[in-house]
Amino acid sequence: SLGSMAYGAGNYFLVGQYLQLACVIYTLLQIPMFFVWGAYMGDVLLLFGFDEKAAEIASTYVWVSMTMDVISGIDWVLYEFLEVCGKEVYANVIACVGAAVELPLVWVALHYYDSTLLFVGLVFLAIQIVFMLINMCICVRMGWLEQYEDGIFRSLAFRNREAVREYLKTAFPLAIGSLLSYAEWEILTVFAAVLGPAEAATWAVLGYVWDVFESTTGALGSAGEVRCSYQLGQGKPQLAKLSSYKSMFMALVVSLVSTSIFYALSNVLPAFLTSDETIQDMLIVLFPLVGLGNVMMSVGMVCWSLIGAQLRYRQATVIATATSLGITVPLGAIFTVALNYDLKGLTFSVVVGYIMTAMIMTTMLLISDWEKLSETIREKVLAEEEKEDDDGDAPANSDKDCGVQDTESQTGSGALAEIDIYRKDTGGLY
């Protein structure tokens, strides 16, 4: 969102600084994890009841795993940067090519060599490094980084205190939200284990189904977030509003289509997911509720991304946390621990949580003051530009000022004309 807003305001220097901040801060935060997990991974596995051999393997593999986390994180930052700059097709193609190369190489390592987990991890790591370097070389060769080089390589982004403050202010709620989302599912897994080992295994398999749905919804949310924040940064609140509403509508349509396909295959999918007939029977019973939850989850996740595009991640995180801890988890505990009901009760609690989240966030979007939000965002970008000038980091020939002129309020006939022009320019996509 921050990069899209700066890009929309024409401040390419600031976009580059955000890219630098993301890579450096992510790497710095990963360093303590190296030492923590490297020192205690074996003890943690022993605590969970694994044997000495498993603890020894994990203690060796964790160093490779943590290195992969750093490389993949930096690579992910670059992919997000390319999406902001309109190179999302290329970013997805290179990611798919990397996955297509990765699979056969790992298969060869497992079937033709006496591979250990450490060796397989090193294969993964080598592929990640090679494709990250290829990605960087292509970006440089195509000239996609030229406008942003001053911010990325020729400045110290940490000197721009306003940008650092805004970055951390935005990142913190996102980190909390991600942590709580992961914790919620793990708590529900514990509830499923109370019902029995078969239920716990079924709930774990069901998690993969949710992940597939979330990947589709996440793509729509990311696209809507980029477009919305870009228009807000340009001072075009009506286009941001239109883009948001279209994103919500597209999410609803896609979720309905994917759920229809899911229902049509509900008697076939369990056999592909597991060979255990007991788990297959449980999945068939749960799939109707999962389909309903997918529709609600899609709308809620896209609304969460769009609220984030307004730089209101804190409010979105508070809403998601409140529905999780106040509705989903308590209902799950009641149905499983108290009433000893089957997994339908646990799935129902997730669906109810998604419904409440979607309803509250949709209402929050519908009552948003888009004009005021756009003004606030442009003021933030302008304040960061002034800070750059005071620190002397911004290059003298920077064209960052091209997007910070005063913009008249986008209301009435002016807003309609703006929308009409933009529809012609984009073919009606947003």
If we measure between CA atoms, which residue out of 368, 247, 338 comes closest to residue 298? 247
Q: Tens digit of pLDDT for each residue in 161-178?
A: 888 888 888 888 778 877
Buried b (16+ CB within 10 A) or exposed e, 70-103: bbeebbebbbbbbbbbebbebbeebeeebeeeee
Note the pLDDT of residue 166.
84
Residue 89: which H helix or E strand, with range?
helix 88-112
Q: Give the whole-angstrom CA distance, residue 417 versus residue 425.
A: 12
Q: Give the whole-angstrom CA distance, residue 46 versus residue 52.
A: 7
Note the pLDDT of residue 130.
92
Note the pLDDT of residue 6.
80
Contact, 84 vs 98, CB < 8 A?
no
Structure tokens at 241: 């509003």
Structure tokens at 226: 């980029």
Q: Tens digit of pLDDT for each residue in 170-222?
A: 888 778 877 777 788 888 888 888 888 888 888 888 888 888 877 777 778 88
Q: Tens digit of pLDDT for each residue in 38-72?
A: 888 888 888 767 788 888 888 888 899 899 989 98
Q: Tens digit of pLDDT for each residue in 287-300?
A: 888 888 888 888 88
The reported pTM is 0.70
> What are the start-end ranges of the E strands in 280-343?
none
Task: Using DSSP, state whether 398 is helix, strand or coil.
Answer: coil
For residue 412, pLDDT beyond 70: no
